[in-house]
Structure 1
Amino acid sequence: MDKLLKKAFVEAAIKFPSALFGMFCTFAVLTILDSVVPKAAEGLMNFFEPALLFIQRWLPLFYVPSLVVLPLAVKDVPAASGAKICFILVGGWLASLCVAGFTAISVRKMVKTEMIPAEPMAKPSPFTSLEMWTWSGIFLASFVGALYYPTALGTSARTCLPFLLSSTVLGYLVGSGLPSAVKKVFHPIICCAVSADLAAIAFGYLSKSGLDPVLGDYLTKAASNPGAGDILMGFLGSVIISFAFSMFKQRKLVKRHAAEIFTSVIISTLFSLYSTALIGRLIGLEPNLTISILPRCITVALALSIVSLFEGVNSSLTAAVVVLTGLVGANFVQAVLDKLGFNDPIARGIATASSAHGLGTAALSAKEPEALPFCAIAYALTGIFGSLICSVPAVRQSLLAIVG
């Protein structure tokens, strides 16, 4: 389904992410089936349950490649500007999370919607020591093989693929086994990216090729010559489409709390765009850099389409800032949500996805699967509303006026 939708969207010159469209279509089909032939909807859910548990078990892995190659994206940004961008990024993430979460709770109180328990979600099995040793063996064998037989698999990307992929998986296994208190401030996603970067640094040093070429082989974005990151990101469309099943399982809560979901997403998206523009001007960040980071809380594909509406922007910086925002959210979101007292899966899911898009969604839902449906909805709606609002000329002019 993902491949067919991608092909159709390319041929129709539609820039909207096809996987998000597929997610809503799947949710619509399940909802219609449930109202017409309930047993058919239940049968589909049961049929896909093993695949959904597999995706949930490995979910953060599919979002990691952008983090691994982050050093390539930020190396040309001046240090002073980089410090200002980091200030906006961290402060803006926290502010957006608070706005989304408190708006959801306030709207719920205004419309007097009583909170009911979420449907229990199945949790995947924990990782075993056998998996750890197996992936360790694959990494060591492939790393040594790549050093001594650099052309055995043809291109350098294919040579590096086995050990870079296994180091990424190994980092996730190690991170998942850390104590809960540690994981709240050092998420397995971070461990995953660090593990892959350390493997790339070690190979670059020992092979005397340097770090940049190895990271370039991690994510080539060439179908004929894929790297480890391309393999992982190849599953991302299917992963996003699969969110529809989690949304369907929590359909009663989605329908019951539609007012707070939509209101909080709209308000937090507007807040994110305009607060970024204002803070950028107040702290003296260059206007073109401020415009480049405006869609910091929106998923990469839509963030890039948003900045393309403006002139003189740095699209590489846009992608890097979106990934960094997700990184901050993935690492600290659970601890911050606990501190702020957001206890129900709706407020937690909306606040997370509205402020840290896909990476935040992957990080939170790996621990709290009940929050995944609301993360998925907010993740999609934030991108959709951000794209729509920025396509209005008056809005773009107002943002440019604030930026200066």
Structure 2
Amino acid sequence: MEQLLGAVRPYAWGSRITIPELLGRPVPAPHPEAELWMGAHPGDPSRVVGADGVERSLLELVEADPVGQLGSRCAERWGDRLPFLLKILAAEEPLSMQAHPSAGQAAEGHAREEAAGIPRDAPNRNYPDPTAKPELVCALTEFHALAGFRDPRRTVSLLRAIETPGLAKYADLLAAQPDPDGLRTLFTTWITMPQPALDELLPEVLDACVLHVKDHGEFEPECRTILELGETHPADAGVLAALLLNRLTLRAGEAIYLPAGNLHLYLHGTAVEILANSDNILRCGLTPKHVDVPELLRVVDFACGDMPVLRGRPTGRMAVYRTDAPEFELARVEWAAGADEAVELDCAGPQILLCTSGELRLRAADGKEASLRRGESMWLAAADPAVHARPAGGQPAHLFRATPGVCT
């Protein structure tokens, strides 16, 4: 049980307030701070503070002793790699629209790019590693996202509600085939549209969205999002693609799981995110970064319908967000003011504990004790004894626990 120091990632879409305030630093920060990483990602591993006060790279600790740090079952499956990465995500502006590959797609794509001699840090590299990248994002504040393809019939209603001369034929196209194949056809048509045609259609769509918002139409939230994206990316086909996706507003504690192929875009808010320890991203647009349309079309899943919202399955005092991802599992524990009940945190593999509210007292079975305050995280190696957590000072407290999925 050792304190974990996360790595701050200063992407342009981040907040200058959220992460600095969480970590007790002056606000606003000089530059946007988008993510706080807790894990052993090779690009920016967390540091573990030992009993002697010495800081060591978590990546180096895991590589030096995978069985002791990860446990035999986890090490057998993942080798010397911690399979998950835990994050605080602070989105002040929309991210890029993207999807992630399955394990098979990632392995094949990685091998192909290795054989072609594409450097792993090249801007046109799609598969820097051979692993899948499923994700789960759990809201800490009201969190806005686009995720998964909306039921095509609802999308036809949206397109009819903002219909323009240039948009009408696309509404007709989807209405004639309101299924995943119809979505694939329309999506492909839009993201491969020649720039002159796109430059003609997009202003029509944005003007129609303005009118729909002024009239407080049925699809006002969707149209506001299209206008926001169109303002920052006025010539990007991703703005049209956004018309096809579910528009979600998550409340604190609600989560969505993004398996392989799910096209998504985080818009605004603060969340805890857990994902497989991978960098494989296929971007659709709304970004200056590389977009590989043929590869994207190989990866995107055009299954459609409402995006399931997860609220955590109660397991004792813990709420567990169940998914089919073997790389990770996220759980949440909440204590109301005055509560003093201890919760046992035990796992056959490693754990990362993150306090997002209040203060916690941790006591291990060997008698070791530690405190965990808001914004702080703790590393528990597989070889560590079980830990009990309880709130301190009678104040409300929130704890997130990240483990590999294979540990449960």
Indicate whether the TM-score tops 0.5: no
Q: TM-score, normalised by structure 1?
A: 0.24
Structure with bigger gyration radius: 2
Structure 2 length-normalised TM = 0.24
More strand by share: 2
Q: Which structure's residues are more often helix, by fraction? A: 1
